[in-house]
């Protein structure tokens, strides 16, 4: 399996809060976006990233109940972090991968977009991770908040070439739906780290030019099976 990735975290047009957090380990990427309304939003998102990654790293997953196991981990992390009384909460979006498949796990309003390479070498959009937003576009559930009811989960067969975009709303809300495909289509061969870094920079700059005042964060992952 070929793996390439690039991340850009906490970019701003102004001073910014730096409330987004990113971490990775072998087989796992995690991006969290702490709420800006709390002074501890950045601290909470960092703790969430670290704790979730540690729990997943040491967990022995079964082959059939993976969705339930990720939910169990996140609800446990939620209760433990909430007991710290930081008065903060955070989104989470994560990619877990191995040699046979990969999975998307999310809570909150961060963006997860999946693209698949076709037999003729073109990229096509395959899936958008559900976002937990209300009719006003605000997140209705977050880890650490009073409302946390479910974990969004999706598994993908590893028999293709995939490109996954994980984005905070500071980026995802400020780019057009075709911007991801437009940049990805420039790369015909399997992208390397520098290719993905180029795309990430292009998208960050688009978000800045579109007027994003939030923390701007993105992680792009290529998996070639």
DSSP β-ladder status, 152-157 and 123-128: unpaired
Q: Encode pLDDT of 49-84 as tens digits.
A: 999 999 999 888 877 789 999 999 999 999 999 999
Q: Encode pLDDT of 28-51 as tens digits.
A: 999 999 999 899 999 999 999 999
Structural domains counted in the chain: 1
CATH number for the domain harbouring residue 177:
3.60.40.10
Which pLDDT belongs to residue 58?
86
Q: C-alpha angle with apex 50: 92 to 141, nearest 5 degrees?
A: 25
Structural domain span for residue 110: 2-224
- For 39, other C-beta atoms within 10 Å of its C-beta total 12
Which pLDDT belongs to residue 83?
97
Predicted confidence (pLDDT) at residue 200 exceeds the cutoff of 90:
yes
Q: Encode pLDDT of 75-127 as tens digits.
A: 999 999 999 999 999 999 999 999 999 999 999 999 999 999 998 889 999 99
Higher pLDDT, 153 or 159: 153
Residue 200 half-sphere exposure toward CB, CA atoms < 13 A: 28
Output the six-digit token pair for 10: 């906490």
């Amino acid at each position: 399996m070929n793996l390439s990735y690039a991340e850009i975290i906490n970019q701003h047009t102004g001073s910014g809060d730096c409330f987004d957090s990113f971490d990775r380990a072998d087989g796992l990427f995690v991006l969290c976006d702490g709420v800006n309304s709390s002074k501890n939003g950045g601290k909470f998102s960092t703790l969430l990233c670290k704790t979730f990654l540690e729990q997943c790293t040491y967990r022995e997953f079964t082959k059939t109940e993976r969705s339930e196991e990720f939910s169990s981990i996140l609800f446990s992390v939620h209760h433990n972090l909430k007991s710290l009384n930081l008065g903060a909460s955070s989104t989470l979006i994560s990619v877990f991968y191995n040699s046979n498949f990969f999975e998307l796990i999310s809570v909150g309003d961060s963006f997860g977009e999946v693209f698949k390479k076709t037999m003729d070498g073109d990229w096509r959009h395959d899936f958008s991770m559900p976002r937990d937003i209300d009719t006003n576009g605000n997140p209705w559930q977050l880890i650490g908040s009073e409302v946390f009811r479910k974990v969004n989960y999706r598994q993908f067969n590893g028999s293709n070439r995939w490109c996954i975009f994980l984005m905070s709303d500071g980026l995802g809300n400020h780019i057009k739906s075709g911007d991801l495909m437009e940049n990805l289509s420039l790369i015909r061969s399997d992208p390397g780290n520098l290719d993905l870094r180029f795309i990430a920079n292009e998208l960050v700059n688009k978000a800045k030019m579109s007027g994003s005042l939030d923390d701007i964060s993105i992680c792009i992952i290529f998996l070639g099976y």
